[in-house]
Structure 1
Amino acid sequence: MIRPEGDDMDRSSGPGIHKGVPDPQPDRDSFPGTPHPDRITVIGMGMGQEDVSLRQLRIIESADVLIGARRHLAPFEALPAEKIPIGKDMDAVFSAVENRIGKERIVVLASGDPLFYGIGATLIRRFGPERVQVFPNVSSLAAAFARLNLPWQDVPVVHFHGRDATTELIAAIQSSERVFVLTDLTHTPDRIAACLMDFPAIEGRCCVLERLGEPDEAIRWCTIAEASAASFRQPNVLVIEIQRKETAERPFLGMPETAYLHEAGLITKPEIRAVSIAQLALLPHHVVWDLGAGSGSVSIEAALLAHKGQIIAVERHPERVRHIRANVRRYAMENVRVVEGTMPETLDGLPAPDRVFVGGGGKALEAILEVVCDRLAPDGVVVVNTVLLESLHLSLKAFRKRNWFCDIIQIQACVSKSTAGDLRLEARNPVWILRAGPAETKPENKDDVSPSDPNGYHPLSSDF
């Protein structure tokens, strides 16, 4: 048993209390922190019963109502307090607390430290800080890094409790050598590792710490690939350790075609890429879909701006997917995820995008835009590149149907070519760049002219 903090202090000033002599068993209300009917007392259980201090045990013994996971309640089965197990129905637990607060002494038993992604913060938000008293303990973060003999003061924490936190995890991986991950029954270490396998530039290993504090506790180091194919006992936590290559090339905006491995001619040209990325209006935290990613050039350069977000490059051709993966690894763009598959089916299950770049789609363009418009964030933006009039028409039709704003740019660049010891300009194919989104998100510009007049005429109507 860990001695309570300050248990060896000189308390001889109190009547009948002498240094080195144990206190007599106090009355229920005679020591600080005794549960009171007007507040909820939350006890951190650390990694096991051995982490619970004498003071915390006294508080538990003084309770009229004990609330906690079954494994936390089990050691106190002999106590006369009413036991309320915590399950999936948290509303029922909160209702039980509301019905008893002010009448009975309520003590809630929490895993690890109650205020480290625990129930303590939830109770404070629900009932107010004046109605909750928290007694801390060893967190899973502190316990895990103590087991590994590693410092953790600078380690970012990402929690998957009841949510998909992949974008946050990728941002954390980019900023730190190690990341601590709180898993749950759905977002298990193998599923998280399998997701990381879609990010070609992320290399490293991970440590899964199973059943911390239990007699059958286990610590397993493995590669990310090995973890993706394994199974792990619950509960567990995950430490990801990133290995970075010092030789990675530094990308920049507007890189030439020669900077990317690509299929002949199938790459967004630098000048079109620059304007398209500008039209996306990227912010650091954005989730971006690059649909029909080709070589991945847009994904890689977008990742420079959305560096705390996630770029998802979707491509159906296996050889082009190989090119994207090679380019992403070359430039070590850890926030670029590569997804191989046919659209729009492959888009199911991807995190909702803040920005979408459509550089391909072929005959499925109309169906793809339908999914894009359904999934786009309320303040999102879609940018479409096309050289085909029919694709221009289908894009306009999709955006008009939803009453979205749509700005159109046509670019025809000329690039220099050497001829007879001099230079000439060679024209590239003209490209349409469409920028669209919900009407209320369009930046205000008093000089804008509506693309259609009251009679419904549009200079790019379906009659062209």
Structure 2
Amino acid sequence: MNITRQIYLIGIGMGSRNTRTLLTESILEQCDCIIGASRMLESVQEYKKPQFCSYKPDEICQWLDTHLQYQNIGIVLSGDTGFYSGAKKLENVIKTKLGNDEQCIQVYQIPGISSVVYLAAKLHTSWDDAKIISAHGEKQNYIQTIANHNKTFLLLGGNDIAEEVCKKVKKYHLDDTLFYIGKNLSYENELIVIRKGSELTIEDLSGLCTVMIKNTRPQSWKYKGIPEEEWVRGKVPMTKEEIREISLRKLGLTEDAVLYDIGAGTGSVSIEAALCSEKIRVYAIEKNPEGISLIEENKKKFCTDWVTTIEGVAPDVLNKLEKPTHVFIGGTSGNLKAILKAVRDRNPEVTIVLNAITLETIKETMEATDERLLLNPEIIQVCVSKAKTLGQYHMMLGQNPIYVVTDRKEG
């Protein structure tokens, strides 16, 4: 028997019937059955159609495969099908598992009104100039996003994430940001409250809610680099500003890079790397407790929440970390070749940049090249001099020359 089945992936907005489109209403009226999560099904009870409660693609396909009597199927999804929705994955699974000689499957996506669009209209503001993040069931770098942008929309769900947001807003001193919190949007008990970052409570953010955050003084370090005087300093060595800029360019970080900063010192390379993209994950590895403390202080100052400090000596502490795409080596504690072997074992195509000040380190670098731990290193020497005023004269004072070694996959 060859049958044609039409499956509609339907965005029903926030749940209230008042915000459904006429097209959605028409399709739900014509469907033989309706599938969705329990909260979605509760909002479409008035259609009095057979229902199957599930949001998992495999379960839905298995149920459809054993209920061939239903040929016009509506699968209801919250918000809009193209906005942090399960529609894309669900459509792919349906086409893969149900399309065969016996069934001709046609899948349609029906758009709905998202909570961000709705809240923006309620607040008389735009959303096309905002950063939008869903932290509902996903780990996101929302702190850096809030710190770097004038306007951010954040989708939340659950008490755990509410508690986390409250703690991090206070930890990173985002006290003057304004949170416009929308709850039960589109329903009769709809509530929109405004809180300063310093006033946020877990109760404010609990449950499903959509939040717009205004930051009148966003950071701008990403575009101009951080000068020496801005860092929290101690007695721990720090990579100089000019060397840092060259090393970061040589690393060629991608938008979602995973960077090991080995011998991180005060965290200057880690912080500036993290500021390149809100998706970059950085592991700052440092053996000196004072250095760990300084990295944490600089993390707070520059709101780089996705820099993770690791106290210990490489390569011993590397095994439990996720696979790196890029590695910066500022200090080795005499373990250069062991470190290179460890990161190569984790990712043979990793990009490596190391800084060396002594000829002994360069000797180790050449030995590592002979042993194929470095494959095709580029070695440059950088000499930086800075002008200093002495009375009516200006003198150029030279810093120690630094070797910058870069090794990356060719092509």
Report the TM-score, using the length of structure 1 for normalisation.
0.63
Q: Paired residue for 2:123, among 122, 130, 148?
A: 148
Q: Which amino acid aligns with 2:154?
A: V
Q: Paired residue for 1:281, among 239, 252, 255?
A: 252
TM superposition shift of 1:359: 1.8
Q: Paired residue for 2:114, among 126, 135, 139?
A: 139
In the alignment, what sits opposite 1:50?
A: 17
Q: Paired residue for 2:36, among 61, 68, 72?
A: 68
**Structure 1 pair 342–196 and aligned structure 2 pair: CA distance change class (3 A):** farther
What stretches of structure 1 of length at least 5 have no aligned partner?
Answer: 1-35, 444-464
In the alignment, what sits opposite 2:8?
A: 41
Aligned length: 395
Q: Which amino acid aligns with 1:131?
A: Q
Deviates more, 1:391-400 or 1:149-158: 391-400
Q: Which amino acid aligns with 1:355?
A: H
Between the aligned partners of 1:200 and 1:361, the Cα distance in structure 2 is: 34
**Structure 1 pair 97–401 and aligned structure 2 pair: CA distance change class (3 A):** farther
For residues 12-411 of structure 1, what are the structure 2 equivalents within 5 Å?
38-51=5-18, 52=20, 56-57=24-25, 59-74=27-42, 81-87=49-55, 89-98=56-65, 100=67, 104-126=71-93, 131-160=106-135, 163-166=138-141, 170=144, 174=148, 176-183=149-156, 188-191=161-164, 204-214=177-187, 217-224=190-197, 232-244=205-217, 252=224, 260-264=231-235, 266-270=237-241, 272-283=243-254, 286-299=257-270, 302=273, 306-307=276-277, 309-310=279-280, 312=282, 314=284, 320=291, 337-343=306-312, 353-360=324-331, 362=333, 372-373=343-344, 379-387=349-357, 405=375, 407=377, 409=379, 411=381
**Structure 1 pair 342–396 and aligned structure 2 pair: CA distance change class (3 A):** farther
Q: Which amino acid aligns with 1:290?
A: D
Structure 2 contact 330–354 (Cα < 8 Å) conserved: yes
TM superposition shift of 1:84: 1.0
TM superposition shift of 1:45: 2.5
CA offsets 1:160-208 (integer angstroms, 9 cap, x no match): 45543428x846863x421222345698344356566776789734344
**Structure 1 pair 250–389 and aligned structure 2 pair: CA distance change class (3 A):** closer
Seq. identity, %: 24
SS at match of 2:121: helix
Q: Which amino acid aligns with 1:68?
A: G
Structure 1 contact 170–309 (Cα < 8 Å) conserved: no
Structure 2 contact 266–295 (Cα < 8 Å) conserved: yes
SS at match of 1:39: strand
CA offsets 1:71-126 (integer angstroms, 9 cap, x no match): 23235558663321114x32111333455568522112221223333244444445
> Which structure is larger by alpha-carbon Rg, 1 or 2?
1
Between the aligned partners of 2:73 and 2:372, the Cα distance in structure 1 is: 53
SS at match of 2:311: coil
Structure 2 contact 10–24 (Cα < 8 Å) conserved: yes
Task: Compare relative contact order (CA 8 Å, sep 6+) and give the higher one, 1 or 2.
Answer: 2
Q: Which amino acid aligns with 2:117?
A: A
**Structure 1 pair 170–363 and aligned structure 2 pair: CA distance change class (3 A):** same
What stretches of structure 2 of length at least 5 have no aligned partner?
Answer: 96-103
Between the aligned partners of 1:58 and 1:416, the Cα distance in structure 2 is: 72
1 or 2, which has the higher strand percentage? 2
